[in-house]
Amino acid sequence: MSASETGTSRMDHTYDFLAVERKWQAFWEREQTFRTPDDVDTSRPKFYILDMFPYPSGAGLHVGHPEGYTATDILARYKRMRGFNVLHPMGWDAFGLPAEQFALDTGIHPAVATERNIHRFRKQLQSLGFSYDWQRELNTTSPEYYRWTQWIFLQLYKKGLAYQAEVPVNWCPALGTVLANEEVIDGRSERGGHPVVRKPMRQWVLRITAYAERLLEDLELLDWPENVKEMQRNWIGRSEGVELTFQVESMTSNENDTNADSSQQITVFTTRPETITGVTYIVLAPEFPNLDSFASDHQREDVVRYVEQALQRSDRERLGTESKLKTGIFTGRFALNPVTKERVPIWVADYVLGGYGTGAIMAVPGHDARDLAFAETFNLPVKAVIDENAGRMIGWKSTWLGGLDLDGVPFEEARARITEALEQLGIGQRKINYKLRDWLFSRQRYWGEPFPIIFDAETGEPFPLDEASLPVELPRTDSIRPSGDGRSPLANVTDWVELRDPNSGQVRYLRETNTMPQWAGSCWYYLRFIDNKNVERLVDPEKERYWMPVDLYVGGVEHAVLHLLYARFWHKVLYDLGVVSTPEPFQRLVNQGMILGEVEFTYRRQRQCENVSGGNSPHSNGTSPIEQYEEVRVPADQVEKQSGDRYVLKADPNIEVSARAHKMSKSRGNVVNPDDIVQLYGADALRCYLMFMGPLDQVKPWSTQGVNGMRRFLDRAWRLVCEDDDFVTEREVQPTREQLRILHTLIKRVTEDTEALRFNTAIAAMMEFVNEANKWKAPWARGRLLAPFVLVLSPYAPHVSEEMWQTIRRRAHLHERGESIASLPPRSLAYEPWPTYDPQYLVSDMVTYAVQVNGKLRGTLDIDASADREAVLAAARELGTVASYLRGKQIVREIFVPGKITNFVVK
């Protein structure tokens, strides 16, 4: 084989990685090497491995994106070699705000920009050699795909899980759309950082709360990181308590009148019914229904004004601990404690949310920090009913509540007894509440899935479309700018919105002009990958039963509450409909850590600014200098590392340097394009470096120099296998036991580490093998030792491994037929059996002795484990580093500890 055929450069002892990678990527595509057949042998085990499919942004990939993709690709290639049917697909979550905002900024239609971005992403992913089955590629903006998204919505509607409501929503004027609570951070949109206000609007809402308990309970079925499960538990927020009803006093009652107006009452939910005697006021959320009717005549106008202001703040702002200032307003009216019959004032305050519980609370400032802060702000009474130090009730010797006496009773026991008494007397009832709110499912934008709903033009009554009429295709229009009044741009596409009677020509129905959120398409895509060409149904039941659930799902932890919770909800609905056979979609979840930019080195330099007014300055001009500091960035080659993590300037070691890596961002200028790295070092080097940086789930700083080191490792592996054609065949020389020990140790380590996703240590083991193998003297049996090495390397560095495998095949041909051949037709190693290790070779036949003279270590000796005492001592005496200490000395004693130590005691 010539140098040009192999990609080898004899001059610099490296291989032409760009030529090799182009060659094998073309081969895999031409041969459809990684195509998973539509009909597989179901008697074989399956492995469905999935990436959280990307949004194809115009910026393309940076080097942090392929980290998770590389991990899944390694597992996919490894499982194929272990005999599994592997499903490893890729697609595009392509609807949503970014493409539409880009269109508004540039005038490029979202469909055009999206297709262009997808093409770029696909090309980038293919350049990295990922073994995706591209025949299953999905695009959520394709009508063939969102036809089934609309079908799922119709099933939700028919089950009563999709409904319309006039609800206060997070309205973003800049984006012109409603945002879910999860998409609002500190009062601003997650996308773009625009201000968000609360506004009542007609919305489609999905009743995810109907599945709250199952979403919570079934977390126990999943092999997920505990922190992700805990985030979902907290978001669902299950709490057990009691609902109590406070009667509202009549508007005509005076301060001494305890008669209640039976037409008005306030129901509260509490998890601590034992504190009911400590209630000193009631709080209504600004969203409380018919709130103005609970205000007195002279307070109503002020209450309405306060509510309008409070609703401008997001839920996170209202609940945020950083805001210590409590706001509220007295309604001018009172309610009666159902147990003590005491009058308590009714307030409105924004620290109570309308979406949790009943939208009203009984405030117990003696035993709740937020209630206490509010009471202190407005000088409201504080009453203690529990000795917090002792954990016991105090002041419970009255005869109220059926004569229940709980003075001195531990509060947890008192809680149970009070709850039972409240239920028996009909004053309260047990209740389970959730923080989870129903899912706002409307967006007032163009670039999203249309709803399969029409409305009667006269009555406004909604009707679901017939399933046979799907998909409802998004009309192509250039008028995509939001109206600003809450209506979708689709409202302007009259000929699409209006459905006319074919006989009379009158408008009979109007289409829904809101669109679905981006989450819709990503809630179920894993199912369509299984059967992406099916035009009769969402997924074939037999294929679904074989492939589901997803065995391994890899993506960022930022999707812990949004995508993962939504997808689980949709999956459970489909499970109830009999569409899927598993209660959960993703059996195992792994979150990859973030890759930061290169470490930046900076130091603080004092800067003297211009003089400013200094008051009592000694200077005649009445000014004095102000000392300021600036951060100065320095190149890495001007920095020196000292002990620990301390860095200093080489030019001045007295100046300490700070070393820190930052998140990659355009503004910081530290984004690394993987295309550039592939051109400089190759896809295999990038893949291996991404995995070698550290544990998959940890945050790690990028280092281009580290990729160069991985490039050198692959060059050494290449030379080990391919460089020398003058070899001795297996028939003539057999590997030594020590060589076999090193090989089988490698196979064991890489197998176990790959299974456990310890990719960094697997690569370390391969590096150690190459280092050891390069020490071995020829002649030796290349095929028997190097073929397994190439196979275990191949999931990590597939291109160079394929090329090395051809060299091994050519040599095997020579060995078997005794004739040389310049080249063989390429054949992928993708389905070659994974090597297995033999435990008998894992025990070393060599032993390392520490050789001492008068108890001090003077050298080490590697010797056959079967060597007896005399052979070991004789070899130890001949060691160069030991012989000099023995020369001319009298050995008075020789100490021998088998397998460990020899010690020569001399005068």
CA distance 207 to 215: 13
CA distance 633 to 475: 52
Nearest residue to 240 via CA among 278, 276, 270: 270
Nearest residue to 480 via CA among 856, 210, 102, 8: 102
- In a 3-state reduction of DSSP, which class is residue 471? coil
Least confident span in 34-38, 222-226, 475-479? 475-479
Give the strand pairing for 8-9 and 14-15. Answer: antiparallel
CB of 48 within 8 A of CB of 36? Answer: no
Q: Which residues pair with 282 in a beta bridge?
A: 346, 362
Q: What is the 3-state secondary structure (H, E, C) of 317-386?
A: HHHCCCCCCCCEEEEEEEEECCCCCCEEEEEEECCCCCCCCCCEEEECCCCCHHHHHHHHHHCCCCCCCE
For residue 730, the model assigns a pLDDT of 46
CB neighbourhood size of 271 (10 A): 13
Confidence of residue 122 (pLDDT cuts 50, 70, 90): very high
* Distance, C-alpha 767 to centroid of its chain: 30
Place of tokens 């079967």: 866
State mean pLDDT over 241-265.
72
- pLDDT at 620 > cutoff 50: no
The answer for residues whose C-beta is within 8 angstroms of residue 191's C-beta and 6 or more apart is 97, 98, 101, 175, 183
Confidence of residue 101 (pLDDT cuts 50, 70, 90): confident
For residue 607, the model assigns a pLDDT of 66
DSSP state of 774: T
CA distance 297 to 282: 19
State mean pLDDT over 513-538.
96
User: pLDDT tens digit string along 481-497?
Assistant: 877 777 889 999 999 99
- pLDDT at 263 > cutoff 50: yes
Amino acid making up residue 868? D
More confident residue, 445 or 46: 46
CB of 94 within 8 A of CB of 140? Answer: yes
- In a 3-state reduction of DSSP, which class is residue 86? strand
The radius of gyration computed from the CA coordinates of the chain, to the nearest angstrom, equals 36
For residue 881, the model assigns a pLDDT of 83
CB neighbourhood size of 74 (10 A): 25
Task: Show the tokens assigned to 332.
Answer: 């001018």
State mean pLDDT over 253-266.
60
CA distance 170 to 186: 12
End-to-end CA gap in the chain: 64
For residue 172, the model assigns a pLDDT of 85
CB of 846 within 8 A of CB of 862? Answer: yes
Place of tokens 């239609």: 109
User: pLDDT tens digit string along 340-385?
Assistant: 889 999 999 999 988 778 899 999 999 999 999 999 999 999 999 9
What are the backbone dihedrals phi and psi of residue 660, each rounded to the nearest 5 degrees, phi first? -150, 140
CB of 768 within 8 A of CB of 720? Answer: no
Q: Which domains, from first to last, does the chain contain?
A: 17-142+550-591 (3.40.50.620), 154-233+439-518 (3.40.50.620), 238-252+263-434 (3.90.740.10), 594-607+627-665 (no CATH), 674-841 (1.10.730.10), 846-906 (3.10.20.590)
Task: Show the tokens assigned to 715.
Answer: 């060059």
For residue 631, the model assigns a pLDDT of 81
Nearest residue to 210 via CA among 169, 159, 165: 159
Amino acid making up residue 787? A
148-171 burial, b for 16+ CB within 10 Å, e for fewer? bbbbbbbbbbeeebbeeeebbbbb
Confidence of residue 619 (pLDDT cuts 50, 70, 90): very low
Nearest residue to 747 via CA among 829, 828, 684, 839: 839
- pLDDT at 528 > cutoff 90: yes
- H or E, element range at 680: helix 674-681
Nearest residue to 763 via CA among 713, 798, 718: 713
CB of 282 within 8 A of CB of 268? Answer: yes
- pLDDT at 858 > cutoff 60: yes
More confident residue, 243 or 251: 243
CB of 557 within 8 A of CB of 171? Answer: no
Task: Show the tokens assigned to 494.
Answer: 């009259």
For the chain, how many residues are written? 907
Contacts by 558-563 with C-beta closer than 8 Å and gap 24+? 559/52, 560/227, 560/228, 560/231, 560/232, 560/591, 561/182, 561/231, 561/232, 561/235, 562/180, 562/182, 562/183, 562/519, 563/52, 563/519, 563/522, 563/523
825, exposed or middle or buried, with CB in 10 Å at 0-12, 13-18, 19+? Answer: exposed
State mean pLDDT over 805-813.
84
For residue 623, the model assigns a pLDDT of 45
For residue 570, the model assigns a pLDDT of 98
- pLDDT at 324 > cutoff 80: no
Least confident span in 37-51, 581-595, 633-647? 633-647
Least confident span in 323-332, 498-507, 646-655, 758-767? 323-332
Torsion of CA 267, 271, 273, 277, to 10 degrees: -80
DSSP state of 747: H
Nearest residue to 224 via CA among 581, 554, 700, 574: 554
User: pLDDT tens digit string along 2-50?
Assistant: 333 444 443 346 899 999 999 999 999 999 999 999 999 999 999 999 9
- pLDDT at 768 > cutoff 80: yes
For residue 85, the model assigns a pLDDT of 98
Task: Show the tokens assigned to 584.
Answer: 């959960």
For residue 724, the model assigns a pLDDT of 60
CB of 804 within 8 A of CB of 791? Answer: no
Place of tokens 């079934």: 218
Nearest residue to 317 via CA among 205, 181, 437, 179: 181
The answer for residues whose C-beta is within 8 angstroms of residue 612's C-beta and 6 or more apart is 623, 624, 626
Confidence of residue 326 (pLDDT cuts 50, 70, 90): confident
Confidence of residue 644 (pLDDT cuts 50, 70, 90): confident
For residue 802, the model assigns a pLDDT of 97
User: pLDDT tens digit string along 124-183?
Assistant: 999 999 999 999 999 999 999 999 999 999 999 999 999 999 877 788 888 877 776 667
CA distance 865 to 850: 14
State mean pLDDT over 68-96.
97
Share of the chain above pLDDT 90, in %: 60
Task: Show the tokens assigned to 560.
Answer: 């812990």
- pLDDT at 729 > cutoff 50: no
SS3 content of the chain, % helix, strand, coil (to 5): 35, 25, 40
Confidence of residue 320 (pLDDT cuts 50, 70, 90): low
- In a 3-state reduction of DSSP, which class is residue 101? helix
Q: State the helix-helix crossing angle for 798-817 and 782-793, rounded to 10 degrees.
A: 160
Average pLDDT, rounded, for the chain: 88
State mean pLDDT over 297-305.
93
Q: Which residues pair with 8 in a beta bridge?
A: 15
Q: pTM (2 decimals)?
A: 0.84
Q: Give CA separation, 190 vs 185, 394, 671, in Å.
A: 6, 48, 21
For residue 57, the number of C-alpha atoms closer than 13 Å in the C-beta half-sphere is 10
